[in-house]
Amino acid sequence: MTNVQAEKQVSLVELLSAVPADVRIGVDDGNDWKAGTTWHPVGRLCHDASVELRRLRAEILVYHDDRLRLSNKVDRLKAAQRQWVGLSEEEIEKLKHLIDWTATWSHGRFAYEIEQLLKEKNA
């Protein structure tokens, strides 16, 4: 398709909207002239179809935006996930020897030191 053809191309919604609402098509019900003609409200059907297509397009755009936002959140979460790094036995032994276990405050100090080391290793 050339650029000229693409520029001249009209969307289906525009084409359907352009059909006058009062257009009807008559269909002969048979060979018998007494059978008559059935009239079909093509204009109204085209108009209704264009309205529905516009509504569906808006829904699809909202769905697409929601999907894109969710995908971005998932990507950020994946990037934020890191492997947890714990303390080695040597590090724990070093900490044990820093603490005066006879003092009543030593347990809190030990917990604080562990927390500090883990923060450093997992920053």
Q: What is the pLDDT of residues 75-119, one digit of tens each?
A: 888 877 777 788 888 888 887 777 776 766 667 777 888 888 888
Question: Helices H, strands E: what count in the chain?
Answer: 5, 2
| pLDDT of res. 1 | 54
What average pLDDT score do residues 9-21 get?
Answer: 90
In order of 51, 54, 97, the CA distances from 63 in angstroms are: 19, 14, 59
The closest of 16, 17, 36 to 27, measured between CA atoms, is: 36
Q: What is the pLDDT of residues 21-67, one digit of tens each?
A: 999 988 887 766 666 788 889 999 999 999 999 999 999 999 999 99
Q: Residue type at 85?
A: V
Domain boundaries, given as residue ranges, for the chain? 1-81, 84-123
